[in-house]
Amino acid sequence: MASAQSSADGPARTSLPSQTRRTLLKGFAAAGAAVSISSKIAWADGEIGYWAKDLPNEKLIDMYSTILRIRWFDRTLADKQLSDRSFRNLIHLYCGQEAVAAGVCAALNNKGPFEEIDVIFGTHRPTGHAIAKGVDMKKLAAEYNFKATGLNRGYAGEMHLADKSVGYIGADGIVGPAAVIASGAAFAFRARGSKQVAVVFGGDGTYATPAFHSSMNNAALLKLPFVYVVENNLYHQFAHYSYSSPQKDIAVAANTYRVPGWVVDGQDVTQVYNKMKDAVDRARAGEGPTLIEAKTYRYYAHWGAPGAEVGKLGSFGYDPQAITSWRPERELRDWLQRDPVDIARNTLISWGVIDQAKASAIDAAVKQEVKEAFEWEAQQPLCKPEDALKNVFVEGTVAARQFG
């Protein structure tokens, strides 16, 4: 059984899914009793670092709601792209990965003055990161449809979302640079003696970029309050990650920098939270960076919703852009069996936090909230063309040059 304790020199730790883990723990406890080893010790071993169990009910329910918010927001985006031409959008859907963003952000400070909260740097699969950090879904929906009242007033679209007020420094359309930039935020936190933590989310594809090495190396050398969360959903763009990583577990790369690298079940929000809390505690204590690899999966294609159907979760059909390598349909069906929504719900029910009726009520409330966000979006004004010349610098506007 892997311990949750970190070791700078040790190999990457593998966490088991919580259900399996609890079953095993029960088994260990029973075995312990049988050979007269204190069952308390056996339990304690398994419980070390299981921080999610200590959380108040409201916090656990909030984590579950976050997962649902992301899920229904993204499913609405997928359905709208397939059926509603009035909603113009580019989408890189996060469905399947919700527990990663929800678990990571639950371990961070998200509310308060900008100078005090933790910050995240996301990817251009952004809804999970944005919603989990606390971005308003109404403004988010409006930004997706390029409205003047959207989160970034129509300048961002999907791939460049940002919301300083909740510490969401932003999405990044390019793969790689966010990691080095995030390590710079951590550098500033250390320099000003702040207890803030900087987190970067990167896909498995980021492992192959020079930014991976640069950010990890410098964060390790300077003991920066930095957490690199690799969301390994098995595919970068259209290629399997075996094209870009010789490691099966990208987390083992942390050994090179003599910092902890942990593999975590990205489908189980409690497991993600546990490891993230350890990483954040390390960062705040001045012990330096941590690499967390969340094993996860995206239910849709790299971008858009090719092969998907309205009202149906996941993209099973043909994606014309995926020529070199593409996932087998069985792989997707397999991952759907370990859905982050189901795992979170079952965990909360088995812990007695909620019952089935309450779970359904939460689901209905979230669906309504998402529906209202998109209804609000539909009423919002379009951008004024001339505003395109603003915001290049803090002051003034630039000249129109398109007319000659």
Partner 1 sequence: MASKSTMYAMYEAVQHEMRQRKDMTWIFELTPAVASNPGTPVINLEKEFGRTRVTNTGIDEMWMAGATLGAGLVGTTAVTYIPYQGSQIPFEIIQNHAGKLRYMSGGDSTMPVVFIIEISGQAAGFGGQHSDYEADSYFAHIPGVKVVIPSRPYDAKGMMASAIRDPNPVVYLFPQGLRQLSEEVPDEQFTVPLDKAAVRTTGNDLTIVGSGAGMTMVLEATDQLQKVGMKVEAIDLRSLKPIDTETLVKSVQKTKRLLTFDQSYYTLCPGAEVIARVAENVDGARYKRIAFPDAPPPASPEMFNWMRPNASHIVAAARKVVG
Q: Which position among 193, 328, 352, 404 is part of the footprint of partner 1 (CB under 8 A)?
A: 404
Per CB under 8 A, contacts with partner 1 among 365-384 are: 382-384
Separation between Cα atoms, residue 107 and residue 197, nearest integer Å = 11
Separation between Cα atoms, residue 372 and residue 141, nearest integer Å = 10
Residues of 231-265 as b/e, b for ≥16 C-beta within 10 angstroms? bbbbbbebbebeebbeeebbbebbbebebbbbbbb
Per CB under 8 A, contacts with partner 1 among 20-59 are: none
Smallest gap from Cβ 280 to partner 1, in A, equals 28
Separation between Cα atoms, residue 18 and residue 31, nearest integer Å = 19
Which residues on neighbouring strands pair with residue 199, listed in sequence order?
Answer: 120, 227
Residue 389 within binding range of partner 1, rule CB under 8 A? yes
The residue among 146 and 299 lying less far from partner 1, judged by its C-beta, is: 146
Q: Which position among 43, 87, 187, 243 is part of the footprint of partner 1 (CB under 8 A)?
A: 243
Residue 211 in tokens: 């930014």
Residue 234 within binding range of partner 1, rule CB under 8 A? no
Q: What is the CA radius of gyration of the chain?
A: 21
Separation between Cα atoms, residue 88 and residue 146, nearest integer Å = 8
Q: Which position among 245, 267, 274, 290 is part of the footprint of partner 1 (CB under 8 A)?
A: 245
Q: Which stretch binds partner 1 (CB under 8 A): 113-121, 291-299, 363-371, 388-396?
A: 388-396
DSSP letters spanning 137-153: HHHHHHHHTTBTTSTTT
| Strand ranges in 19-130 using DSSP code E only, listed in sequence order | 119-121
3-state secondary structure at position 203: strand
Q: Which position among 193, 352, 385, 396 is part of the footprint of partner 1 (CB under 8 A)?
A: 385
Residue 403 within binding range of partner 1, rule CB under 8 A? yes
Per CB under 8 A, contacts with partner 1 among 159-218 are: 159-160, 172-176, 205-210
Residue 194 in tokens: 């702040």
Inter-residue contact 74 to 127 (CB < 8 Å): yes
> What are the backbone dihedrals phi and psi of residue 201, each rounded to the nearest 5 degrees, phi first?
-95, 135
Count, residues in the chain = 404
Residue 244 within binding range of partner 1, rule CB under 8 A? yes
Separation between Cα atoms, residue 344 and residue 313, nearest integer Å = 18
Per CB under 8 A, contacts with partner 1 among 282-311 are: none
Q: Which position among 5, 7, 38, 324 is part of the footprint of partner 1 (CB under 8 A)?
A: 324
Q: Which position among 109, 237, 247, 255 is part of the footprint of partner 1 (CB under 8 A)?
A: 237
Smallest gap from Cβ 158 to partner 1, in A, equals 8
Separation between Cα atoms, residue 262 and residue 294, nearest integer Å = 8
Smallest gap from Cβ 184 to partner 1, in A, equals 18
The residue among 7 and 324 lying less far from partner 1, judged by its C-beta, is: 324
Question: Tokens 């010349």 identify what position?
Answer: 389
Residue 236 within binding range of partner 1, rule CB under 8 A? yes
Residue 88 within binding range of partner 1, rule CB under 8 A? yes
The residue among 238 and 351 lying less far from partner 1, judged by its C-beta, is: 238
Separation between Cα atoms, residue 79 and residue 144, nearest integer Å = 14
The H-or-E segment that residue 372 falls in is helix 356-378
Q: Which stretch binds partner 1 (CB under 8 A): 55-63, 223-231, 243-251, 337-345?
A: 243-251
Smallest gap from Cβ 156 to partner 1, in A, equals 6
Smallest gap from Cβ 286 to partner 1, in A, equals 32
Binding residues for partner 1, rule CB under 8 A, total: 49
Interface with partner 1 (CB under 8 A): 88-90, 146, 148, 154-160, 172-176, 205-210, 236-239, 243-245, 323-325, 382-389, 392, 398-404
